[in-house]
Structure formats: structure tokens, C-alpha cells
């Protein structure tokens, strides 16, 4: 089971999905959300990768691992 | 009367610690506190709690310890050294060596702990992007040339 978290005003919006047929709808939803957020300037990071692997920036939905955090577009304050 | 520079720094750090304490009381309501203004309504309080739980889960053990003790934590930025991330909404990324403050925040009204998490992820994994968009404000602690770090212990 993979998790996509998008940071938002409620804390974070979570979509769980995997590659099975039963989760096809969730997967499609996660992919659409991921692509829409990145197109809007968001940045995504693979986190909790296990075996001490460091977090990593990611731009491709197919390379997502267990957990991904999407940070909305960052602007200067 | 001229106040010694070291004394100014010590007062500055004391103030930072007082401001960032979770139970800090600010009767004047002038501090950009992370939690107080956000806990007024139930949904926002829940959002802050969710965000805090997520942040704690994402911090390294050292960062978690720092955060639990001081309400802020430090990150090692590749090629730039150590930076502090404070629980404020603006100017909350501080270079302890210079005292310079950076302000780069995600769009939308995110809980402050989400904001800290976003900054941590960006600084550790995509610092060029953060420093490209963030505004830098020079140190507000006046530092005579040739002296040590702007903030003691940095």
C-alpha cells in the first residue's frame, strides 16, 4: 500500500493506493492529484523510504515508493 | 548607555526561546505565535495536531529531540551548513552563523507545522529551489565586524 499526502489547510489530504486491480480507482485518483499538483508548481518528496534511505525529490508518479509528501508551490514571504 | 553585544545576543536567544514555548503567554497578542491564533476553532486545532503528528514522524531522532525541547529544530543544508526552522509563519528559517532570516512558504493557509515540514524537506532535498524563491532578510542583530556568530552557541 502506498500513501500520497498533499499538505493543505486541514493538515494533509491522504490518498492510499497500490498496484492491484481493486485499487485502480484510488491509483488513478492519486496519479491525477500528483500530476495536477506538480503542474501547479508543487514539489514532491519520497519519505520514509526504509533502510535509512534519505528523502528524495520526485517528479515521476511511477517512481513513487511507500510514502510521498507533496508540498504546495513555495513563494517568498 | 551602550549594551555589550554579547548581552544583546543572550537576550535575543532568551526571547526566541520564550516565544517558541508551546505554553507561552502573550497578553499583548503581538507575537507571531504558531499555535495560539490557530487553536481558536476546532477544525484548525485538529489540523495543527495532524500537522504536528506528521512533522514529528518525519523528523530525524536528533531533530525530534531538539523540537521537543525547544519547539524548533535544525537542518543540515547541503553546501550551506546548518539552518534553524522556527514555528513562525514568516522569517522562520534562520542562518545561525549570520543571523540572516529567510522567508519561503507554501501557498495556502497551511498549519504552521506543515509549513515547517515543507521547509525541512525543501532545505534538505532541494535547497536551490528554496533559496531561489525565499526572501532573505539580513541579520537584525547588529554584529560588529570580526566577531563570532550572530547567535551564541551557533
- Smallest CA–CA distance from B49 into chain A, residue: A11
> Is A45 among the domain residues?
yes
> Is A29 among the domain residues?
yes
The pLDDT score that the predictor gives to residue B148 is: 52
pLDDT, tens digit (0-9, with 9 covering 90-100), for B12-22: 767 766 665 54
Q: Which ranges in chain B belong to alpha helices (H)?
A: 5-20, 42-58, 61-70, 112-125, 127-133
The pLDDT score that the predictor gives to residue B26 is: 43
Q: Is the predicted ipTM greater than 0.90, yes or no?
A: yes
> Is A16 among the domain residues?
yes
Parent domain of A48: 2-71
> Is A77 among the domain residues?
no
> Is A76 among the domain residues?
no
Nearest by CB to residue A9, choosing from B47, B90, B135, is B47
Report, as ranges of residue numbers, the positions in chain A whose pLDDT lies below 70: none
Q: Is the pLDDT of residue B29 over 50?
A: no
Interface size, chain A vs chain B, as Cβ–Cβ contacts under 8 Å: 92
The pLDDT score that the predictor gives to residue B151 is: 56
- Give the number of domains in chain A: 1
Amino acid at each position: 500500500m502506498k500513501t500520497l499526502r498533499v499538505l493543505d489547510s486541514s493538515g494533509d489530504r491522504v490518498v492510499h493506493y497500490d498496484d492491484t486491480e481493486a485499487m485502480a480507482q484510488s491509483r488513478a485518483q492519486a496519479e491525477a492529484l500528483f500530476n495536477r499538483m506538480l503542474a501547479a508548481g508543487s514539489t514532491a518528496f519520497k519519505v520514509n523510504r526504509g533502510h535509512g534511505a534519505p528523502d528524495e525529490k520526485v517528479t515521476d508518479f511511477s517512481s513513487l515508493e511507500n510514502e510521498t509528501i507533496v508540498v504546495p508551490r513555495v513563494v517568498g514571504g | 548607555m551602550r549594551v555589550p553585544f554579547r548581552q544583546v545576543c543572550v537576550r535575543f536567544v532568551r526571547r526566541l526561546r520564550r516565544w517558541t514555548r508551546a505554553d507561552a503567554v502573550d497578553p499583548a497578542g503581538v507575537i507571531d505565535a504558531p499555535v495560539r491564533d490557530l487553536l481558536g476553532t476546532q477544525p484548525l486545532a485538529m489540523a495543527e495536531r495532524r500537522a504536528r503528528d506528521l512533522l514529528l514522524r518525519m523528523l530525524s531522532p536528533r531533530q525530534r529531540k531538539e523540537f521537543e525541547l525547544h519547539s524548533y529544530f535544525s537542518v543540515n543544508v547541503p553546501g550551506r551548513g546548518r539552518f534553524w526552522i522556527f514555528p513562525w509563519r514568516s522569517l522562520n528559517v534562520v542562518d545561525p552563523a549570520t543571523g540572516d532570516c529567510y522567508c519561503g512558504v507554501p501557498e495556502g493557509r497551511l498549519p504552521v507545522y506543515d509549513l515547517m515540514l515543507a521547509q525541512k524537506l525543501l532545505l534538505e532535498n532541494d535547497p536551490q529551489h528554496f533559496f531561489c524563491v525565499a526572501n532573505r532578510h539580513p541579520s537584525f542583530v547588529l554584529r560588529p565586524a570580526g566577531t563570532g556568530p550572530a547567535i551564541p552557541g551557533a
